[in-house]
């Protein structure tokens, strides 16, 4: 599977500074910012700075340094939000949509961090 990255997607524009964002965390290889249409009281998107369409593309072709940076950035944002489980009633959900069936709207890899309320069961839609 050869992935074709569209550099006109909205997150590519955010990374180039063409569209503003509400930054939560920036690291060497990753950027975290608030979702413009939050689905929970806390809704942060974490993206790699490199041109990766989805998680599979990233896992196949990103450098080890990018993968480590991205993985740690997700964890760091959870800690920044104060939602790591085990210290109260907190917790969070990570979602990374991919492709048509995953209903991915923006074709640049992103992990949604959702938290701040009880999120219910993972999937509500019909099977
Ligand atoms: P997907 O469906 O691709 O997993 O999710 C894309 C997410 O990007 C959605 O939650 C949507 O609200 C968010 N989004 C779309 N455009 C923008 C934007 O311009 N800025 C920010 N911060 N989020 C956006």
- β-sheet bridge partners, residue 93: 114
- Among 43, 110, 112, 118, the active-site one is 110
Burial of residue 2 (CB within 10 Å: 0-12, 13-18, 19+) is: exposed
Per-residue model confidence (pLDDT) at position 44 = 98
**Is the shortest distance between the CB of 97 and ligand 1 below 6 Å?**
yes
Per-residue model confidence (pLDDT) at position 86 = 82
Per-residue model confidence (pLDDT) at position 125 = 65
CA distance 109 to 79: 21
**Is the shortest distance between the CB of 10 and ligand 1 below 6 Å?**
yes
Q: What would the pLDDT profile of 96-111 be if each residue is shown by its tens digit?
A: 999 999 999 999 999 9
pLDDT mean values, one per 10 residues, the chain (127 residues): 93 98 98 98 98 98 98 97 82 97 98 96 76
CA distance 7 to 5: 6
Residue 42 near residue 90 (C-beta atoms within 8 A): no
CA angle 52, 56, 60 (to 5 degrees): 80
Judge whether 110 counts as a catalytic residue.
yes
């Amino acid at each position: 599977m050869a992935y074709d990255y569209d550099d006109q997607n909205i997150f590519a524009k955010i990374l180039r500074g063409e569209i503003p964002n509400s930054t939560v965390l920036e690291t060497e290889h990753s950027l975290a910012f608030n979702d413009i249409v939050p689905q929970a009281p806390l809704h942060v998107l974490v993206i790699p700075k490199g041109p990766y369409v989805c998680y599979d593309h990233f896992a196949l072709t990103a450098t080890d340094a990018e993968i480590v940076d991205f993985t740690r950035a997700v964890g760091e944002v959870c800690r920044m939000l104060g939602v790591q489980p085990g210290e109260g009633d907190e917790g969070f959900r990570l979602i990374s949509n991919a492709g048509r069936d995953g209903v991915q709207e923006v074709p640049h890899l992103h992990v949604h961090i959702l938290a701040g309320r009880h999120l219910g069961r993972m999937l509500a839609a019909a099977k």
